[in-house]
A and B are shown apart, each in its own frame.
Chain A
């Protein structure tokens, strides 16, 4: 695949005109359906009773928190190697969204941990590595905005995002490498999921919904940024 086919902002805007509303409506439909199935129709857990419903927000946001970091790291590599103009903008557009998902994951996890573990927070490997991920997002945003030259901010940020990628496998495998209070993975595992299908379906819907929401909001942010640049370029070229 030739990456430079997508480097043209005009072509991106043409594609985005289709993708953005599509992703937006998929997000609305699946999030509504997932919420109804997850919060009302799915059964309470035999051990955790109603608190299990927090999972329908917690797991998708954790998944998206990691996915958006991986996507940012790939885009950062593309931006550094091929000087792809849209890749830098993607990293910048996705960072606050990923940070939001990470925060949502930590907060919902905390609400779940209070009744289940009896503590708002435990210093377990999964929770700690997720907190580090939040700091990486925040650090990227602070660094990218710390330079007068915008390009320099993008490139410095890209190097930081690539360095921080070491945290992603630590988050992913923390529940296997250490004896954590956080339970091990129960959906994507060898030998199939260990979660009841009445709960797996709403969870799947929510994951699709969260992903579609991510695509939608990143596309909107990218379009806005490109239009912003167009306006600025036009203003600079207009004789006073």
Chain B
């Protein structure tokens, strides 16, 4: 019950502030719109680079929203109140991750296929793209939560966050882009997707615990 209440609270905050939830999505769209302008509009070239670029854009747009995950609540003191509420810290983190994914990861699932079509990705690869986003973006939010919790209260937290989190995103990037590449080339994407699911299965229980440990230190 606590979990659902926390998620609803975060979602309501995100919706009331309005812009916050859409900034990441807009960033994702803009980065991908720049691609044909930079490398030229030939469909074959675009189709070749689309899987990797869609995923790089997804990585960066998730990263963009991470800094706000705990920092603002740390500053206004509501994180202290949550800590005093007696709800397990890992559960609070899990709720925050869920809300963060719903506001930044889920929109990517809706925008991804449209932008992929604009980048001339073959239609056969669209389903795999959706699956890779569905399996990959929660891992990005989970692992990102560790980084976000670590830099709470740090100097120049935003730049530091990119330095900490991007190396940890490498496996997701490789398997996700690999899956779409394989599907576009007519090869089975299943092994890549299974590895991607494996990343999610590992980070789902462990990341909230690590982020909770880091957050506890920030509040001491």
Residues of A within 8 A of B (CB): 80, 128, 132, 135-136, 138-139, 142-143, 146-148, 152, 155-156, 159-160, 162-164, 166-167, 170
Query: Is the contact region of chain B dominated by helix, strand, or loop, or is it mixed?
Result: helix
Q: How far is the CB of B75 from chain A (nearest CB, A)?
A: 15
Question: B153, B166, B168: which has the most chain A beta carbons within 10 Å?
Answer: B168
- Nearest opposing residue in chain A for B159, CB measure: A142
B214 in contact with A159 (CB, 8 Å): yes
In the bound complex, CA of A146 to CA of B156 (Å): 8
- 8 A-B pairs with least C-beta separation: A146-B154, A135-B167, A155-B217, A159-B214, A156-B150, A139-B164, A132-B167, A139-B163
A135 to B164, CA, bound (A): 8
Q: Return the chain A residue nearest B163 by Cβ.
A: A139
Shortest beta-carbon distance from B73 to chain A in Å: 18
Chain B neighbourhood of A146, CB < 8 A: 151, 154-157, 160
Contact A147 B163 (CB under 8 A): no
| Residues of chain B at the chain A interface (Cβ within 8 Å) | 146, 150-151, 153-157, 160, 163-164, 166-168, 170-171, 210, 213-214, 217-218, 220
> Cβ of A152 and Cβ of B217 under 8 Å apart?
yes
Tell me the minimal C-beta distance from B211 to chain A in angstroms.
Answer: 8
A155: B residues at CB distance < 8 A: 214, 217
Partner of B217, one of A135, A142, A156, A162: A156
Give every chain A residue within 8 A of B171 (Cβ-Cβ): 170
With A135-B167, A136-B167, A138-B163 in contact, is A143–B213 under 8 Å at CB? no
Which residue of A is nearest B164, CB measured? A139
In this complex, what residue of B is CB-closest to A132? B167
In the bound complex, what is the Cα–Cα distance between A216 and B175 (angstroms)? 41
A162 touching B210, Cβ below 8 Å: yes
- Pick the contact of A147: B154, B164, B168 (CB < 8 A): B154
Chain A to chain B contacts (Cβ below 8 Å), 20 pairs: A128-B170, A132-B167, A132-B170, A135-B167, A139-B160, A142-B164, A143-B151, A146-B154, A146-B157, A147-B154, A152-B217, A152-B218, A156-B150, A156-B154, A159-B146, A159-B150, A160-B146, A160-B150, A164-B167, A170-B171
Give the residues in chain A near B153, CB-CB below 8 Å.
147, 152
Beta-carbon nearest neighbor of B146 in chain A: A163
B213–A159 touching, CB < 8 Å: yes
Cα distance, A7 to B7, chains bound together (Å) = 43
B167: nearest chain-A partner, CB-CB:
A135
Cβ contact of B167, chosen from A139, A152, A156, A162, cutoff 8 A: A139
A94 to B205, CA, bound (A): 30
